[in-house]
Amino acid sequence: MACVFRHFHGAMPHSVLLPFAPSPFLSIAAAGALSCGSRVFLSGRSALRPDGSVAGLGDPTAQTHAALDSIESALQAAGGALRDITKLTTSLVDRAHRKPVYEAIGHRLRDVFPVSTGLIAAGLPLPELMVQIDAEAIVGAPVRRLRTFELKDWFSQDIAWQGAMAAASGSEVFVRGQTGATLDGSAMAGLGRRPEDVAAQADLALSNLATLLREAGSGMEEVCKITVYISDRAYRAAVYPVIGRHFRGIHPVSTGLIVTGFARPEILFEIDVHVMRRQGGPHLRLRRYHSNAVRYGSEQQSLDCDFCMAVRAGNQVILRGQTATDLNEVMHGIGDPVAQVEQAMDNVAVLLGEAGASLADVVKATVFVTDRAYLPRVTDVVLRRLDGVTACFTALVVKGLASPELLMEVDITAVTSG
């Protein structure tokens, strides 16, 4: 694998998942940062200390600085710095912490202008944790920051923080998580909580996405993956047909998450995208399907979307979020998170192989669970199945997944040597 493994100085991401074990560390290493050319993958970071304790108990500002210290150390090990960050995904457990958290980030990332996604999570790996930051970076290559803004000018929020709507490198485009807000932050679509309101938010978000990609010299056809966040599973039937219209015939991979909330209470929907520039031809999209013809968990859902199971873009392989539904659409392990993650990782191994990669090429794994109690066992299986591969790692507790019987989901990105 053409990646340089760099370890951060701090607790390994998996160490938080065994709070009741005699030792908080597992025998399987995880990377703080992985350099793959100019692209740097990072583990999600929090205020967890190397000894398993948490810095800044009860203090969101202190916890944010602790997380950024860990990110900074990881980036320095990869030859970079905080100024190289292109995107942040910030997960809070309470919207009331948003101002101190974002102002701490704004202070440390002054004049960096990252793109960002902000979530209110159902939980983080330890109950004492108040914030987790997942960062992405480009080191040693130019990045254009498009449509920069001050957050105080965005719906009049009293927060000292700078951002951008897109960050474009020669190989990849990072886009701010898109909601139902206009691109200048002056108005919001769908100000109710009805299905038609969330559909209106999704429609504007995807129209904005197309505009931003065009301005970055890209397009919807270069989107490899979408991650869809909604605040209620009941909104899926309203949101996905809108996504289907905007991505008709493109077939991205997808992950769908139910989260507790977003940056502002009126937001019901947010979409993240993984965009790789086409080099030498279109991306390879494997196991294409129409969503109406497959099962999510044990049931079919009429969503009217064109998706696929894996995308190969150059030497990068991005998988659909994998669950307990096998590749023949049979649900496994109802009520059993360990059986579910074993099936998900079986799927991962097959899909990577079909894309010309293997588990040894994994650079980033992100685990979502619907109950913090599942996290130690689920993570143990993921890391065991990676068989000693030193990949970056993030874990998040979410409100729900595509169907109620799904207890976990795993996102996988791999980079091959050829």
- Could you report the per-residue pLDDT of 328-379, keeping only the tens digit for each? 999 999 999 999 999 999 999 999 999 999 999 999 999 999 999 999 999 9
Q: 285 - beta bridge partners?
A: 311
For the residues 175-192, what does the mean pLDDT come to? 96
Helices (H), 78-221: 98-108, 195-215
Q: Is the predicted pLDDT of residue 13 greater than 50, yes or no? A: no
pLDDT of residue 18: 24
How many angstroms separate the CA atoms of 15 and 31, rounded?
A: 12
Element (DSSP H or E) covering residue 319: strand 316-319
Higher-pLDDT residue of 302 and 404 is: 404
Please give the share of the chain, as a percent, with pLDDT higher than 90. Answer: 84
pLDDT of residue 27: 29
- Record the pTM: 0.93
pLDDT of residue 343: 98
Q: How far, in Å, are 55, 66, 124, 396 from residue 41 at the CA level?
A: 24, 19, 20, 17
Q: What are phi and psi of 237, to 5 degrees?
A: -65, -25
DSSP calls for 386-415: TTT---EEEEEE-SB-SSTT--EEEEEEEE
Angle at alpha carbon of residue 367, lines to 361 and 371, rounded to 5°: 165
Query: Cα dihedral sign for 219, 222, 227, 232?
Result: positive
